Every structure is written in C-alpha cells, then in structure tokens.
C-alpha cells in the first residue's frame, strides 16, 4: 500500500470521533455563537429528543431524519429524555451562562449519560455491567475505592444484579480475579453483605468467555466460584483458533512494520495480545485498525473484539455484546432493563460492541463512575435525579413492545463492532 493510500484510509476512518455527539455539537453551535444558549438550547435538545423517538419508530425502508443525518447510529434501547437531562445538567454547571467556551464533546457525552439514567425511571434497572480498567479502577491497577464499593453494595441491596465484564481473561482461576477485586470484596466482608445479595454479583472474564459468581466460603468470606456449567456463550474451537492465528499474524506484522523493537506477542486460549516496550497511541490504534481489517477479510463466524488497551493491543474471541446478552438469557432480563458502563466506546475500544445489546454510559475514569452511580442510585431508590421524577418522553412509545433478548445462536453468529447509538 502506498503512503498516499495509507494516509487517505486513516483520514476516512474517524476512529477518534463519535458522529452522534458531533451532530449534536453542530446543532448547538449557532445558539452559542449568537449568545442564545439560555433561550434556545432546550429547544435544540427537545428537537434531538424528537429525532431519537422518530428513529426508534421508523418504518422499514423509510429512513428517519436522524438515520439520514447520522448513518452510523445503531440501537436506542429506551427513549431518552434529553431536554430534561439538559436542564438538569445546565442547572448544575451553568453551561448556558458561558460566552467564550461552547458545549464540549465531553459535556454532550455526560448529558447523554444523564438522559439514559433518567430513562430508567420508566424502564426499571435490573442489571448493571461494568468495564474494569479505567471504569472501576485505574488502568492496570486493582479495585481500591471504598466509596465506589459502597455504591455497588447499595445496588446489590436494591435487588440489582451487578457484573464486572472485563477483557481480563484468567480462565476460571478465581484467585486472580479476586486479587483485582480485593478492595471490593474487603468492603463486602466488612459490611457483612448477605449471601443472597453477594450472589447477585458476577464476573465475566475474557469479554464473554468465563463466568464466575460471588458467594461465601466455609469461613464466611466473599469468594468467586465458577459458573461454567450455566454459561451458554461458547465458540467452535477450530474456528476460534483460526481467528487467533490470523490475528497473531497481523499483530506481528504491525510490530515489524512500525519498528516496535522488543514488543511481545502473547497468545492465550481465547486471546492474543501485542505489548510494545514503549507504547504510542497512534501505533496502537494502527495495529487495532489493521487487525480489525484483516479479521473481517477472514469472514469468520466467530465474533471478535480488537481493541487498544492503552498500553497494549488485544484481540479476544467474542465481545462484550455476547457477554451482556449471555446475562440477559441467564437472568431473563430484557435489554431495556440493562445498563453497561465503560470507558472504551470508540471503534478501537472493547466497550463499543456492547451498545447493540443494551443501553450504555460512556465514562472516562472511576471518579466519573461514582458520579453517574450517584444518579443511578437516586433513580433506583425512587427519589429521581435532582430529587424529582422525569416526565415521560413521548406518549407514542407507551404501547410499543421492545425486542426480546437475542437467542444464543444469533449471539454467536454476530459480527464484531456494529454501528452504534449513544
């Protein structure tokens, strides 16, 4: 491939952007330029809310206005009270009072998050899954935040099932997952969390390959136990091995082409990774996009996730979509009653695929996870965000039946990294 074609392909892949958020930024820009956010931003958000509802109820073969404007959008699993979310966010941070700094990408992301949390006043929350690194704990570190652990305990006490859905794949070696979650388990023991609440906490390792459930051991301590026998997310061994062979070849080629001296390639049962000695984001993104392209060309029936882990690149058999859908089948919970919280929702991230299986919150660090959990707990306990209930989005959606949880066969046949909504 020539230099010019490489540069052109890189420019065509907007791997560090989200088209829906950029679309909303564009709608808000005229109001900001005219110093009219206070008067007109609510109308702009109400218009986006209307577009989302139109999109959710569009007729096959007749693209909605939003689909035409943002072709990469996927599924909105619930209605989104965007105008109410904007009013709440603006009351907190006085965005409409600013004259020199327009609403940012991150602020729009947070407003979308808040709208999704408010939506659970209409579709009760029954299941929450969390990414690990940069969501529950710092990248490569272990869980050590007592306040965050307390929030998770409150979710369990309220009857919500909670799962860590992580790329970390230690097979069924429970002690290795327990080490990563040591601070959380310590708080559970200190609070004497009842066994029935503990059993509502799961770990799904390797994106979707290994299921463990929390329980108490003979000494009364919180401990993880294998639930392999009850987990129906499986893949054909030979096809999975062929996929990983192709991924390994691509990663080795990337290391050679980019001169990553001393880079290690690690092969596991369900994953293969590239660990450079001195990682650079652009090189990691390049390796991810190359391996995604190579694996799509293989046309494998096995879903995969290729992602930039911040200091490395990994390709996993399966994705978090299959992980979340596995929980939906196991627990009998519909997508609109589920939520996934993570930090990697760009196409080079491993939370991206979960968007097609349930509503999602896009956060950036564990501190933000605590902030969104405070709002989630306010909704779960019935007080509502800002101490008041959110009005319904649209009466037209009241009688619509949402799609049922996907079958295991459909889950296994799904391809990686679909287009996605917020």
Q: Are 131 and 225 members of one domain?
A: yes
In a shared domain, residues 88 and 157: no
> In this structure, are 81 and 203 located in the same domain?
no
pLDDT digits (tens, 9 = 90+) for 251-304: 999 999 999 989 999 999 999 999 999 989 999 999 999 999 999 999 999 999
Residue 345 banded pLDDT, cuts 50, 70, 90: confident
Q: Which of 64, 98, 121 is the last residue of a domain?
A: 121
* 317, 339, 358 - which closes a domain: 317
- Residue 260 lies inside a defined structural domain of this protein: yes
Which of these three, 90, 105, 121, is where a domain ends? 121
- Does residue 280 share a domain with residue 369? no
* Section 129-150 average pLDDT: 95
Contact 274, 263 (CB under 8 A): yes
Q: Is 414 a domain residue?
A: no
Same domain, 135 and 229: yes
Sort 192 into a burial class: Cβ within 10 Å, 0-12 / 13-18 / 19+.
exposed
Catalytic site positions: 131, 133
Average pLDDT of every residue of the chain: 89
| No. of helices (H) and no. of strands (E), the chain | 15, 11
Domain that holds residue 335: 127-233+319-381
**CA 130, CA 341: separation in Å to the nearest integer?**
5
Summarised one tens digit per residue, pLDDT across range 363-397 is 999 999 999 999 999 999 998 998 766 666 654 44
pLDDT of residue 83: 97
Give me the percent of the chain exceeding a pLDDT of 90.
76
Mean pLDDT for the stretch of residues 63-69:
95
Q: Average the pLDDT over 184-206 and give the result.
A: 97
pTM to 2 decimal places: 0.87
Note whether residue 413 is domain-resident: no
**What per-residue confidence (pLDDT) applies to 346?**
83
pLDDT-derived band at 61 (thresholds 50, 70, 90) equals: confident
Q: Are residues 167 and 69 in the same domain?
A: no
pLDDT above 80 for 417? no
Examine residue 103 and state whether it is found in any structural domain, yes or no: yes
- Of the listed ranges 3-7, 32-36, 55-59, 118-122, the one predicted with least confidence: 3-7
Is 212 found in the same domain as 350? yes
Do 45 and 149 have their domain in common? no
Residues 6+ apart with CB under 8 A from 40: 31
Taking 70 as the threshold, does the pLDDT of residue 66 lie above it? Answer: yes
391 compared with 202, residue with greater pLDDT: 202
265 with 351, same domain: the answer is no
Q: Is the pLDDT of residue 398 over 50?
A: no
What one-character DSSP code corresponds to residue 96? G
**Same domain for 143 and 114:** no
pLDDT at residue 152 in the model = 98
The conformational region for residue 322 under phi > 0 = left, psi -120 to 50 = alpha, else beta, is alpha
How many domains does the chain contain in total?
A: 3
Sequence length of the chain is: 422
- If one compares 358 and 17, the residue with the highest pLDDT of the two is 358
Least confident of 39-43, 323-327, 331-335, 406-410: 406-410
The yes-or-no verdict on residue 399 having pLDDT over 80 is no
Does pLDDT of 410 surpass 90? no
**Residue 386 counted as domain residue:** no
Question: In this structure, is residue 410 part of a structural domain?
Answer: no
Residue 141 to residue 68: CA distance in whole angstroms: 42
pLDDT category of residue 35 using cuts at 50, 70 and 90: confident
């Amino acid at each position: 491939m020539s230099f010019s074609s490489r540069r052109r392909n890189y420019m065509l892949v907007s791997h560090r952007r989200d088209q829906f958020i950029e679309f909303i930024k564009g709608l808000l820009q005229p109001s900001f330029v005219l110093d009219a956010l206070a008067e007109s931003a609510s109308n702009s958000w109400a218009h986006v809310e209307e577009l989302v509802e139109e999109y959710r109820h569009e007729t096959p073969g007749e693209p909605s206005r939003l689909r035409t404007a943002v072709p990469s959008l996927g599924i909105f699993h619930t209605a989104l009270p965007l105008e109410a979310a904007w009013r709440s966010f603006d009351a907190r941070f006085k965005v409409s009072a600013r004259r020199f700094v327009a609403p940012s990408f991150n602020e729009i992301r947070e407003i979308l998050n808040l709208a999704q949390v408010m939506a659970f006043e209409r579709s009760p929350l029954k299941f929450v899954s969390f990414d690990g690194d940069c969501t529950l704990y710092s990248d490569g570190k272990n869980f050590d935040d007592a306040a965050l652990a307390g929030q998770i305990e409150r979710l369990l006490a309220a009857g919500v099932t909670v799962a860590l859905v992580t790329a970390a794949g230690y097979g069924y070696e429970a002690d290795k997952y327990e080490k990563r979650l040591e601070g959380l388990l310590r708080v559970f023991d200190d609070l004497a969390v009842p066994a029935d609440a503990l059993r509502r906490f799961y770990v799904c390792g390797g994106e979707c390959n290994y299921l463990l459930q929390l329980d108490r051991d003979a000494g009364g301590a919180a401990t993880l136990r294998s639930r392999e026998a009850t987990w129906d997310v499986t893949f054909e061994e030979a096809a999975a091995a062929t996929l990983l062979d192709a991924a390994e070849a691509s990663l080795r080629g990337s290391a050679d082409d980019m001169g990553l001296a001393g880079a290690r390639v690690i092969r596991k049962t369900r994953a293969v990774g590239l660990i450079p000695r001195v990682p650079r984001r652009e090189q990691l993104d390049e390796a991810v996009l190359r391996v995604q392209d190579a694996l799509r060309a293989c046309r494998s029936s096995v879903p995969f996730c290729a992602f930039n882990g911040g200091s490395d690149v990994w390709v996993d058999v399966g994705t978090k979509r299959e992980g979340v859908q596995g929980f939906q089948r196991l627990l009998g919970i519909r997508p609109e009653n589920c939520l996934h919280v993570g930090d990697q929702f760009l196409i080079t991230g491993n939370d991206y695929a979960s968007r097609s299986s349930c509503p999602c919150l896009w956060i950036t660090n564990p501190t933000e996870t605590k902030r969104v959990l405070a709002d989630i707990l306010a909704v779960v306990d019935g007080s509502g965000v800002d101490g008041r209930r959110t009005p319904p989005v649209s009466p037209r959606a009241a009688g619509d039946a949402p799609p049922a949880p996907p079958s295991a066969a459909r889950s296994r046949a799904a391809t990686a990294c679909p287009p996605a909504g917020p």
